[in-house]
Amino acid sequence: MSSSAPTAPLRPHAEQNYADELAALATADDRPRPPGWRLSPWAVTRYILGGTLDDGTVISPKYIGARRVVEVAVATLATDRALLLLGVPGTAKTWLSEHLAAAIAGDSTLLVQGTAGTAEEAIRYGWNYARLLAEGPSEAAMVPSPVMTAMAEGRLARVEELTRIPSDVQDALITVLSEKTLPVPELGTEVQARRGFNIIATANDRDRGVNDLSSALRRRFNTVVLPVPRTVEEEVDIITRRVADLGRSLELPEVPAGMTEIRRIVTVFRELRGGVTEDGQSKVKSPSGTLSTAEAISVVTNGMALAAHFGDGTLRPADVAAGIHGAVVQDPVSDGVVWREYLETVVRERDGWQDFYRACRETGR
């Protein structure tokens, strides 16, 4: 096991983690860059989707999915419209937004986390009250929001879970996006957005309706829907790559990728999500959880930690059974019934799945 310094950050930002790739792309990139951008749209797309540069530098794929989705997202950010990434949980909305900000602005940290309690100060600015009382309103007493900083520096601001933010607070974004300015009446000034400024917001399909976007705000965003992986192969590919990345950054002992178990988890999740078996032959009931790709990634990562530290170093059914059970059975009563029925009617009968069936039965007790 390699051992990096214990003081290294647990989770470096994308622009730190992939600094080498971003530098290589900047060198190779001879296409026009929109004002304020670190890279051209072509190079940003290459960074996101991966590939090999002429000088042999390998760019790892970050987002796995349709090229067009990424192109539309990148092109939107070069216009005066903001970008809204929409999708069910675990479709890489947050992940893509971080990488877009890292590649375009070199900084993914200007982040507003949307919650029901998000206040206007998080989008506009607040005050350092000690200074405000001592000195009166001044620029030094002002606490800029990430959005204000992004405007002043011509960078990208990220707004996570936009639809969870109360609508009157959301509306603070309207002036920002339409006038590209943030007035500061207390000082009689304003912050005008510099070129390169834009906003990437994410929102969850399921939260929609909580605080549905006002039409005035919606008109200022281009919406890009991130789809769930189309096929088992695509989902297995996403999970395998992300698990390898995570294993490296957590410095887990090497565990062979365990393709059999990954494939099984994906099959189980897809069947339960879709309400039908892969062969289309039998209907199954869906549990209440989302069973997203993101959850499959953590089931596998946990399984690898179990296998590495307590098992024989190979990912086995017993290492993933507890994780699957936890993801499927969110409500112990109703989901418990769904899961047992699925185990008895589908898993038990399936060729080559007996060890998996037994491991899941053991865990469910």
Ligand X SMILES: Nc1ncnc2c1ncn2[C@@H]1O[C@H](COP(=O)(O)OP(=O)(O)OP(=O)(O)O)[C@@H](O)[C@H]1O
101 binds, among ligand X, Mg ion, none (CB under 5 to 8 A by kind): none
Distance in Å, CB of 209 to ligand X, minimum: 15
Among 90, 114, 196, 289, interactor with ligand X by CB under 6 A: 90
93 lies in the binding site for ligand X (CB under 6 A):
yes
Long-range contacts: 191-194, Cβ < 8 Å, 24+?
A: 191/144, 191/148, 191/151, 191/152, 192/151, 193/151, 193/152, 193/154, 194/36, 194/151, 194/152, 194/153, 194/154
Inter-residue contact 98 to 48 (CB < 8 Å): no
User: If contact means CB under 5 to 8 A according to the sort of partner, which of Mg ion, ligand X, none does residue 293 touch?
Assistant: ligand X
DSSP 287-305: -SS---HHHHHHHHHHHHH
Dihedral angle at the C-alpha atoms of 98, 100, 102, 103, nearest 10 degrees?
160
Residue 91 interaction partner, one of ligand X, Mg ion, none, beta carbon < 5-8 Å per kind: ligand X
Residue placing its CB nearer to ligand X in the complex, 241 or 358: 241
Span near ligand X by CB under 6 A; candidates 23-31, 178-186, 265-273, 293-301: 293-301
Q: Does 242 bind ligand X (CB under 6 A)?
A: yes
- Sketch the per residue contact string, 194 through 233, with ligand X: x for CB under 6 A, - otherwise: --------x-x-----------------------------
Q: Which stretch binds ligand X (CB under 6 A): 99-107, 149-157, 252-260, 290-298?
A: 290-298
Is residue 306 close enough to count as binding ligand X by CB under 6 A?
Answer: no
Residue 238 touches ligand X, criterion: CB under 6 A: yes
Residues in contact with ligand X, total (CB under 6 A)? 18
Q: Which stretch binds Mg ion (CB under 5 A): 92-100, 146-154, 265-273, 278-286?
A: 92-100
Q: Would you say the C-alpha torsion 242, 13, 224, 209 has a positive or negative sign?
A: positive
Q: Which is nearer to Mg ion, 203 or 318 (CB)?
A: 203
One residue of 17, 57, 94, 222 binding Mg ion per CB under 5 A: 94
163 makes contact with ligand X (CB under 6 A) = no
In the beta sheet, which residues pair with residue 84?
201, 223
Largest CA distance in the chain: 76
Distance of closest approach, residue 47 Cβ to ligand X, in angstroms: 13
247 lines the binding site for ligand X (CB under 6 A)? no
Sign (positive or negative) of CA dihedral 95, 100, 103, 105: negative
Phi, psi of 109 (to 5 degrees): -95, -5
Please tell me whether residue 89 binds ligand X under the rule CB under 6 A: yes
In the beta sheet, which residues pair with residue 276?
Answer: 283
Question: 4: part of which helix (H) or strand (E)?
Answer: none
Q: Which is nearer to ligand X, 49 or 148 (CB)?
A: 49
Identify whether the C-beta of residue 301 lies closer than 8 Å to the C-beta of residue 245: no
Select the span of 82-90, 104-112, 319-327, 348-356 touching ligand X (CB under 6 A): 82-90
Residue 318 is a binding residue for ligand X (CB under 6 A):
no
Does position 164 interact with ligand X (CB under 6 A)? The reply is no
Q: Residue ranges of the alpha helices (H) in the chain? A: 14-17, 19-28, 41-49, 67-77, 93-105, 129-135, 146-153, 167-170, 172-179, 215-218, 232-250, 259-274, 293-310, 317-328, 334-342, 354-364
Binding site for ligand X (CB under 6 A): 63-65, 87, 89-95, 202, 204, 238, 242, 293-294, 297
Binding site for Mg ion (CB under 5 A): 93-94
